[in-house]
């Protein structure tokens, strides 16, 4: 019987491989951070996260708030002289956090999962059902109906609609989710 020992890749190599981004090309020019709309609210700037990955500081990276606060606006990737797309890196880090049960930003992670679930089930985001599910996952009883007035105003002005969706869009979304799962 042959024994196979699976050796885990170093953190930098693992993130590089999973994200498809050449993180070791970052030379800390800080162009990504200078345009980042959430850099001031986060514990690390985008370039600092890349440096922490380069240094192999897995714990600090996976416990960072910036990977969950990132909106995926791609400003950092557009500014990077080496073409590093940080949103791809952050998506990889989010996946790692979920797999490892690291949950520092519970409400942000719950929103992310609820959003993706809505797309997977409906083929697109269904705002009403998505927000109801998110509220049920994250709110205590007192907060549950806090936004009902705002929701009604949006609904009455046609900004929110009852769930609809085509079977074709639903099937395409489900196929994409199946293809991307490990």
Residue 83 within a domain: yes
- pLDDT for 174: 72
For residue 148, how many C-alpha atoms fall within 13 Å in the half-sphere facing its CB?
Answer: 5
Please answer whether residues 28 and 51 qualify as being in contact, where contact means their C-beta atoms are separated by less than 8 angstroms: yes
Say whether pTM exceeds 0.85: no
The larger pLDDT score, comparing residue 178 to residue 3, is at 178
Distance CA 103, CA 97 (A): 7
> Of the candidates 100, 116, 140, which is a domain's last residue?
100
Residue 5 within a domain: no
Domain count, the chain: 2
Residue 32 within a domain: yes
Domain that holds residue 154: 106-180
20 & 91 share domain: yes
Q: What is the pLDDT of residues 21-76, one digit of tens each?
A: 999 999 999 999 998 998 888 899 999 999 999 999 999 999 998 998 888 899 99
- pLDDT for 160: 74
Record the tokens describing residue 9, joined without a space. 């890749």
């Amino acid at each position: 019987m042959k024994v196979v020992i699976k050796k885990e890749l170093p953190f930098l190599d693992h993130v590089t491989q999973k994200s498809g981004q050449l993180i070791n090309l970052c030379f800390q020019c800080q162009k990504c951070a200078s345009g980042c709309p959430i850099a001031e609210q986060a514990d690390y700037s985008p370039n600092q996260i890349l440096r922490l990955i380069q240094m192999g500081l897995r714990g600090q990276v996976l416990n960072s708030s910036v990977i969950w606060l990132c909106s995926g606006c791609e400003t950092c990737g557009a500014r990077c002289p080496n073409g590093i797309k940080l949103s791809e890196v952050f998506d990889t880090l989010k996946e790692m956090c979920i797999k490892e049960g690291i949950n520092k930003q519970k409400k942000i992670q719950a929103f992310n999962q609820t959003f993706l679930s809505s797309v997977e089930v409906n083929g697109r985001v269904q705002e009403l059902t998505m927000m109801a599910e998110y509220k049920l996952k994250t709110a205590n009883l007192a907060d549950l109906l806090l936004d009902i007035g705002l929701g009604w105003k949006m609904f009455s002005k046609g900004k929110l609609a009852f769930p609809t969706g085509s079977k074709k869009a639903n099937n395409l979304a489900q196929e994409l989710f199946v293809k991307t799962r490990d």
